[in-house]
Structure 1
Amino acid sequence: MRRSEKSGPATRLTAAGLVITCSVSLGSALVARADSVSDQKKRNDKKIAALGQQLEGTNAALARAYVNLQRTNAALPIAQQRVTSAQAAQVRAQAAQVAAEATEARAIAAEAKARAHNEAVAQKLAVARANEQRAKEQLAKSGADLVSSQDALDSYAAEVFQGSGQESQLGMVFGSTSPEDFANRLVMADTASAVASDTIDKLAAMTADNTSTRSYLTSVRGEIAELKRQAEAALRGAEAAAAAATQAKNQAIVAKNNAVTAAQNAAAAKTQLDQLKSKQSAYTADLAVQKQSEAADLASARAESARLQAVLVERARKARIAEQKRQARLRAERAAKIRAERAKAAAAKRRGQVYIPKTPPPVQSDPTPSNYLSYPAVGPTTSGFGMRWHPVLQKWMLHDGLDWGIPCGTPVYAAAPGEVIRAGWRASGWGNQILIDHGIHRGVDLVTSYNHLSSIVKFGGSVNRGQLIGYSGTTGYSTGCHLHFGTYEDGTPVNPRKWL
């Protein structure tokens, strides 16, 4: 019933550009590694799925322990690769954080320098505007004084040269009535002349001062225009520096968050790796225990297989004897019919009549066609008949039937007419099993087996071809829903395709 055995053999601000470049390169590297890890996982999943077929018929606990160990062994390189990648990403993220924070510091210093320059230019501009205002006020005052003095001088000149009689200074001098009066008038004229001379000097000084003030005002206005240009440039520089500092700060925050995330990812990957290593140790120990249990199960299965073969051989012997007796009886009956027909022909001849004897057809020894068995269920073949390597026990073992991958609960039908000789649970690994004896065909006693059923409908008695006998499942030593269909010739397992 179990497989027979044979022994065998994973200082300008560059914050934005710096961090974005690091982020893009880091992201691209992680995507590439993710693709590689994903491909590895797909390949490993295929290998694990193939193990399920190789372990069919093995003790479920042993199969589970081995598959768990192999899955863990396959996952370890991937987990190690994830740790390495995560730690490398962490290093890159931390370097990007340091670079971003350094760029932020430079940006803040540049902003402070730009703002200080802006304030200095603003102060110079304020001083220049104050000087301009004072110059304008001085120019306005000296202008008014100049007009007033000029008016006074003009009045004096008119009095000296244009006055009539006693009203003019000349009239005052030449209109005197006595030498004493002349002298007095002359003194008064000298005084008036001195006042006029002072006024003229003052007018000259005021005119020169106004000219100088106008020149200074022109210069101050030019300085103000230049300082305005510098102030606007300084303001733009300060604003640009402030914007760059803000951007650098934001990028530094992003870089810090990325570094924190990368550290968390690296820690999580390391934890997963440690857990896998712990599982690997546990599964290795479990597999060793289950291999010992499997040895005992194999011995029990071999004994069960030997008992079943003995039963089938005995049934085949009895069936062959019965068939031989049936064939002998049919031949004897045929011979008797032939003799009776010949006797009728002889009697007719004696009466002068003609009787043609009827010859019965010969007894057919084997009328069974090559495709005698019908398919008990329809599904893809997941495992064929023949020897295959058992990865745990390190042995070649016979897979003595065909496996069809069909869902649990799929109806299973009798492949040909026969008698149910066994139906129920088999501890040897077949789970719920039905055996049907179809009698002698092609000179051998043909028996079919239906294994790992979820439930049984027919527990005994005769069955017809295509009659429902049970439903597929995954009971016994099975790694998934399927039907294991076997054929026996005189108790020896053969490839079912010989009969289908």
Structure 2
Amino acid sequence: MWPVRPSSTPSARARWTALGAVLACTLLLAGALGARADDVADQKRKADRRIAALSQQLEGTSAALAKAYVNLEKTRAAIPVAQQRLAESQAALARAQQAQAQAEATEARAIAAEAQARAHNEAVAQKLAVAQANEARAADKLKKTGTELASSQDALDAYAAEVFQGGAVTESQLGMVFGSTSPQDFADRLVMADTASAVASDTIDRLAAMTADSTATKAYLTSVRAEVAELKRQAEAALRAAEAASAVATTAREEAVVAKNNAVTATSNAAAARADLDSLNSKQTAFAADLKVQRSDERAQLAEAEREAARLKAILVERARQAKLAEQKRLAKLKAEREARIRAERAKAAAAARNGKTYTPKIPAPVQSDPTPSNYLSYPAYGRTTSGFGMRWHPVLQKWMLHDGLDWGIACGTPVRAAAPGTVIRAGWRASGWGNQVLIDHGIHRGVDLVTSYNHLSSIVAWGGTVQRGQLIGYSGTTGYSTGCHLHFGVYEDGTPVNPRNWL
């Protein structure tokens, strides 16, 4: 059994030192994983920005193709991140398993050390108990010997007094010898004297033996007491060692539990990372197949859209030709009317001169063919420009394509208004990708027939007839080939798309 010491507690310093080492290792591991997590998160943010930029590149693409391509690109961007996470999770698992093995080995050593310390403490305690029992027996023996020694000494002292001094009542032994009345009486008295002397001698011998035994017992008691004191010191040291070993074992068990939990978590993380990667690989295969189908459909739809654009251009070119002819006729008529008026005014001046009067002819101003300002068109809606006019690389079809207008990012349902007075020449659904579209012909301006287009509308208000500047013609949306709510605004000069900013 362990010696019980009042208010004995395990060494807090030993426990917290070891536990601090475990926590430090855990924090270092967590810090390393946190740094790697930041790297992964940074990669994900970059990938997300790149995916978001695809929306602008894919504007004017069918929703199905855009979705298939974006899905594929998302998996492409996510796979390296998932691979890195898997590698880091597997590395963390290896570290956690190694830490667990080391912690369990430390725990085993600590438990063995604790058992050894307990055994040593028990052995010392047993030795101490034996030494204390020997001390008690030696003390009892010394006490008993002291009592017997005192009694024998008293008897011997009494005997000596009787031999050499005699008593008032009983005759001394010497008197007994010399006071005999006959030889027989003398002999008897001599035998009695010898007997008394023998008894005295035995008493003296026993007294000497008891004295020697008492001296030996005292020496033994002194030795035993020194042994007891040393064993007490050893017992205290053994108890402290056992308590320290117990504290280390407790800390080692806590460390092993932490390491095991870390290993379990790392195993779960590695399994989840592997599952995520496998899922991404499966999705990528499916998305690639879907993209192949959608790309084929897109090419067919693009061919149809190009034919539709060619038909629209032909229509607008013809309208421009007719409008220019009409404009030429209008200008010719105005010029003829001006010439006729000038001639009439000059005739009036000549007639007045013949009659001796003065008349100043009123010459009409020259006919102006193009009074249109550079900012003739008003903004049909206001929003952030998400895509400008110009050639744009199509990442799916792998070709340069013209983005023939301006895209403004506005919420679906935002009012869209006519950019200038004109006539609605087309309103309705266009299967070529524009969705709900309104086309307004504004007539001849700066020598060209000016037409504006409003595309991807959620609904149309002006289905035909003439409209005024700022008049509501519909509401913005994301119909047709659109990746989000916005307004695609286009401008045509004689049927050819131009940058709308030239007119805004």
TM-score (norm 2): 0.91
Q: 1:384 aligns to what?
A: 388
Q: 1:472 aligns to what?
A: 476
Q: 1:126 aligns to what?
A: 129
Deviates more, 1:116-125 or 1:328-337: 328-337
Q: Tell me, which stretches of 5 or more residues in structure 1 are unaligned? A: 1-11
RMSD after superposition: 2.3
Q: 1:160 aligns to what?
A: 163
- The AA in structure 1 aligned to 2:236 is E
For residues 53-72 of structure 1, the aligned pairs below 5 Å read 53-72=56-75
Displacement of 1:278? 1.2
Q: 1:8 aligns to what?
A: none
Q: 1:76 aligns to what?
A: 79
Q: 1:23 aligns to what?
A: 26
Aligned: 1:282 with 2:286: yes
Displacement of 1:309? 1.1
SS in 2 for 1:88: helix
Is 1:401–1:495's contact at 8 Å kept on the other side of the alignment? yes
2:105 to 102, 107, 127: 102
Displacement of 1:254? 2.2
Deviates more, 1:330-339 or 1:133-142: 330-339
Displacement of 1:136? 0.8
SS in 2 for 1:396: strand
- The AA in structure 2 aligned to 1:270 is R
Q: 1:297 aligns to what?
A: 301
Q: 2:253 aligns to what?
A: 249
Q: 1:93 aligns to what?
A: 96
Q: Deviations over 1:119-141 (max 9, x none)?
A: 11111111101101100110111
- The AA in structure 1 aligned to 2:500 is P
For residues 268-347 of structure 1, the aligned pairs below 5 Å read 268-347=272-351
1:454 to 458, 480, 488: 458
Is 1:15–1:103's contact at 8 Å kept on the other side of the alignment? no
Q: Deviations over 1:112-164 (max 9, x none)?
A: 11111111111111110110110011011111111212222232233334444
2:398 to 389, 394, 398: 394
Q: Tell me, which stretches of 5 or more residues in structure 2 are unaligned? A: 1-13
SS in 2 for 1:412: strand
Partners of 1:330 and 1:165 in 2: how far apart?
190
Deviates more, 1:68-77 or 1:409-418: 409-418
Aligned: 1:421 with 2:416: no
1:265 to 259, 264, 269: 269
SS in 2 for 1:200: helix
Equivalent residue pairs, number = 489
SS in 1 for 2:372: coil
SS in 2 for 1:167: coil
- The AA in structure 2 aligned to 1:309 is K
Q: Deviations over 1:185-215 (max 9, x none)?
A: 4433333333223222222222221121111
Partners of 1:236 and 1:392 in 2: how far apart?
77
Displacement of 1:231? 1.2
Displacement of 1:16? 5.1
1:356 to 353, 360, 363: 360
Q: 1:438 aligns to what?
A: 442
Partners of 1:218 and 1:82 in 2: how far apart?
75
Q: 2:244 aligns to what?
A: 240
Q: 1:44 aligns to what?
A: 47
Q: Deviations over 1:314-363 (max 9, x none)?
A: 22122222222222232233333333333333343344333322222222
Q: 1:5 aligns to what?
A: none
Q: Deviations over 1:238-287 (max 9, x none)?
A: 22222222222222222222222222221221111111111111111111
Q: 1:215 aligns to what?
A: 219
Deviates more, 1:13-22 or 1:400-409: 13-22
Q: 1:7 aligns to what?
A: none
Q: 1:203 aligns to what?
A: 207
Is 1:54–1:390's contact at 8 Å kept on the other side of the alignment? yes
Partners of 1:466 and 1:157 in 2: how far apart?
154
Displacement of 1:72? 1.1
Displacement of 1:372? 1.0
Q: 1:35 aligns to what?
A: 38
Question: Where do 4+ consecutive residues of structure 1 move more than 6 Å?
Answer: 12-15
Partners of 1:309 and 1:32 in 2: how far apart?
58
Identity of aligned residues (%): 75
For residues 218-229 of structure 1, the aligned pairs below 5 Å read 218-229=222-233
1:492 to 478, 493, 496: 496
Q: 2:7 aligns to what?
A: none
TM-score (norm 1): 0.92
Partners of 1:215 and 1:470 in 2: how far apart?
122
